[in-house]
Amino acid sequence: MTFSVAGVCPDTGMLGSIITSSSICVASRCHFVKSKVGVALTQNITNPDLGPRALTLLEDSSYPDTQSVLEQLKQEEASIEWRQLGILAANGDSATFSGEQALGIHNLAKGKNVIAMGNLLANDQVPQAMVKAFELSKGKLADRLLLALRAGLEAGGEMGPIQSIGLKVCSDPEWPIIDLRVDWHDDPLQELESLWQAYEPQMQAYITRAKDPANAESYGVPGDE
């Protein structure tokens, strides 16, 4: 019921992910991003605890790479065969996993600074289509993730219509500089693209307010945040 893509931009240090599903509120429980650390995707029969746990392990020097993090998660999770997991570190290292109980047509794909995966897919080429689109794209990470997800949808997407979507990107601040969600909509990707178009021109102002409020731009609106 879900497909996703995570990517890293070595030039800017940005990292993030985009995820969509026929299930409601998919972004609230299935993708996790931490600045300068990495991205964790947890889907299929989802255990949201695995996302934050993966990022915690990724910060632990006892686990030198994403594969060792994945192996630790597999040891800790009693129901691992129902899970589909993806881990992408800030340095581009990655690991993915689909358990034997993954739903329907499911697949994984990895590329340079990108991973993609999905379950209950229309065909098994959807993750590879997203990886290819991401690798061939240029520009801001958010735009590249949106383009990659659209490529997955155009390649067939999942078996049913998508209803929810989320885009999350981290950079230098500890908090996500982009955290946009459409929790239920007949065309969630188009709605998310509209949200991004509205938010992008304002994004830098919010970052400046956090870092340098004395020189931050004001919109002149009562109660402006």
pLDDT in tens, the chain (225 residues): 899 999 999 999 999 999 999 999 999 999 999 999 999 999 999 999 999 999 999 999 999 999 999 999 999 999 999 999 999 999 999 999 999 999 999 999 999 999 999 999 999 999 999 999 999 999 999 999 999 999 999 999 999 999 999 999 999 999 999 999 999 999 999 999 999 999 999 999 999 999 999 988 776 544 455
The predicted structure's pLDDT at residue 222: 44
Pairing of strands 178-182, 14-21: unpaired
Complete domains list, the chain, with CATH: 2-215 (3.60.20.10)
What per-residue confidence (pLDDT) applies to 215? 86
Predicted local confidence at residue 219, as pLDDT: 61
Which one, of 188, 179, 43, lies nearest residue 116 by Cα? 43
b/e for 42-68, b at 16 or more Cβ within 10 A? Answer: bbbebbeebbebbbebbeeeebeebee
Query: What count of Cα atoms within 13 Å lies in the side-chain half-sphere of residue 24?
Result: 1
C-alpha to C-alpha distance for 82 and 42, rounded to whole angstroms: 11
